[in-house]
Amino acid sequence: MTTPVQSAAALARPHVLVVDDDPTIRELVCDYLGKNELRVTAVGDGAAMKSVLGEQVVDLIVLDLGLRGEDGMVIARRMRDDSEIPIVMLTGRKEEADRVMGLELG
């Protein structure tokens, strides 16, 4: 979670965008990453993710595959067409096919 005005030192840290529709998971991931010297922005859906990517430089995306109303795999596939930003997939899916596709996309 970021503030509108940030110091040069804060802006120099790697920037991680967390995309998850579950506020509890978002907070947990943000707290962990923030404690590890990373600058973190958190959003709850694909539209907000697009907005952040249009306005800020992002070094890594942590993407929930089970976003409500959206498929994280589809979002990741679109990202691969337009961007080289690394993606870490966050999911509760257990199917091996989902894991393989996630590895290919992320």
Q: Give the model confidence (pLDDT) of 61-75 as tens digits.
A: 999 988 888 888 889
Count other Cβ atoms within 10 Å, centred on residue 95: 9
Report yes or no: 26 and 42 within 8 Å, Cβ to Cβ.
Answer: yes
Q: What pLDDT score was predicted for residue 10?
A: 60
Q: What pLDDT score was predicted for residue 104?
A: 56
Domain-wise residue ranges, the chain: 8-105
63 burial level (CB within 10 Å; 0-12, 13-18, 19+): buried
Whether 48 has a pLDDT exceeding 80, the answer reads yes
**pTM, entire model:** 0.78
Higher pLDDT, 56 or 91: 56
Q: What pLDDT score was predicted for residue 70?
A: 84
CATH number for 8-105: choose from 3.40.50.2300, 3.60.150.10, 3.30.460.80, 2.60.40.10.
3.40.50.2300
